[in-house]
Amino acid sequence: MTTETLPKQENADSALGVHVKGYIERVKGGELGALPAVLGLVILCVVFSILRPAFLSAVNFANLFTQGAAVAVIAMGLIFVLLLGEIDLSAGFASGVCAAVLAVLLTLQGWPWYLAVLAAMATGAVIGLVLGSLVAKLGIPSFVVTLAAFLAFQGVVLLLVKDGTNISIRDETILAIANKNVPPAIGWAALVVGVAAYAAIQVLQARRRTARGLVSTPMAVIAARVATLAVVAGFAVYVLNLERSRNAAIVSLKGVPIVVPLIVILLIVWTFVLRRTAYGRHIYAVGGNAEAARRAGINVDRIRISAFVICSFMASIGGIIAASRANSVDPNTGGSNVLLFAVGAAVIGGTSLFGGKGRALDALLGGAVVAVIENGMGLMGYSAGVKFVVTGSVLLLAAGVDALSRKRAAATGRR
């Protein structure tokens, strides 16, 4: 046992050393964090760009975002449920139900887009309230509740989309979400503001902690983080701002798809909630040790229910994005592989199926991996069958990594 209470920050070099050593120790101890997803993403991108140069084109790059958006958003909501060690198998079809509500109100009832969107999101919240209450109050395992809902919601979508095989969406605003782009200048401006704000928050926080004599993140680490964000996001904005139209003279196609800033805002909001609020802290606590949370006076049932509400609410946003991208809603919206991809995205991103571990960012990292696999394999000309098999295997692989890292954590006394 060492005999320091709080290592005071002696100088920047040793603080950096401690930081890096701490990270390496955590990885060795089984806390892999974002590592597998980032490595996987890099490898997949390299492989696909070598095999299919078209993978690297600006058009395809933009496609990746609009293709993966709905799944990533649904995954972000699922993370709240996964953090509690629960599962929501109905999130896919919940998004379908909400999309169908949107389409019916918008196209068949002629509601204005904002009311239809509100109604769709309210539908999501109510779905979550019902599912969460069944799990928390009645004590039915979430697996069963949401499996039943999975089937029932599939039926609800069929009932809502009764005339013909689909309802097309004609509202300009809704269509814009996945089909229109942010003007390039605004994209660049938002990037600069975003990176600057991130840097400012990190630096201010470190300064404040140093001033109070607390251990703070070394400046070198902050610089590395800010640089990484600037390079990755800057590259994305740069590529998305390239001309993607085959015939730019007739119609210009460039800029960041509107759905991207939407996802970034959701990411910031949920990251804030999880990391900076007492509510977020309680989610982790309930996922880590529900009994300890209860004894700490936390209303565990309310936390459970709220997680399902957030999950279904995010599914509704995912459904709206999917409807926008497809220009229509049909009985299969939110069906087939959507749920599997969303769960896969969360787990591949580093969220544990055992609860207590996960971040909102995981949904994007894992969602990117899933989108790249689907997109790249599509370019290679593989059939849907092969894509399903591969994505299923990747999910299993991620779940295996999750289980193994948990075992390793137990072996090294981290659990």
Contact residues for other proteins, defined by CB under 8 A: 1-7, 29, 208-209, 212, 214-215, 276-278, 281-282, 284-285, 287-289, 291-298, 356-357, 409, 413-415
Smallest gap from residue 165 Cβ to other proteins (A):
46
The least distance separating other proteins from the CB of residue 346, rounded to whole angstroms, comes to: 16
The least distance separating other proteins from the CB of residue 367, rounded to whole angstroms, comes to 23
| In contact, 328 and 103? CB cutoff 8 Å | yes
Which residue number, 225 or 414, has a Cβ lying nearer to other proteins? 414
Q: DSSP 3-state assignment of 335?
A: coil
Q: How far is the CB of 272 from other proteins (least distance, A)?
A: 8
CA–CA separation, 136 vs 286, rounded Å? 12
DSSP-derived 3-state class of residue 277: coil
Residue with tokens 């991996």: 369
The radius of gyration of the chain from alpha carbons, rounded to an integer in Å, stands at: 22
Q: Name the residue nearer to other proteins (CB basis): 29 or 234.
A: 29
Instruction: Decide: helix, strand or coil at residue 350.
Output: coil
Residue 137 or 170: the one with the smaller Cβ distance to other proteins is: 137
| 3-state SS, residue 289 | coil
Is 138 or 278 the residue whose CB approaches other proteins more closely? 278
Q: Residue 329 forms beta bridges with which residues? A: 167
Closest distance of CB 304 from other proteins, Å: 16
| Closer to other proteins by Cβ: residue 277 or 383 | 277
CB of 283 to other proteins, least distance (A): 11
Cβ closer to other proteins: 180 or 415? 415
Please state, in angstroms and rounded to a whole number, the distance separating the CA atoms of residues 208 and 205. Answer: 5
Spatial contact of 134 and 145, defined as CB atoms under 8 Å apart: yes
Q: How many CB atoms lie within 10 A of CB 245?
A: 13
Contact between 341 and 71 under an 8 Å Cβ cutoff? The reply is yes
Distance CA 192, CA 198 (A): 10
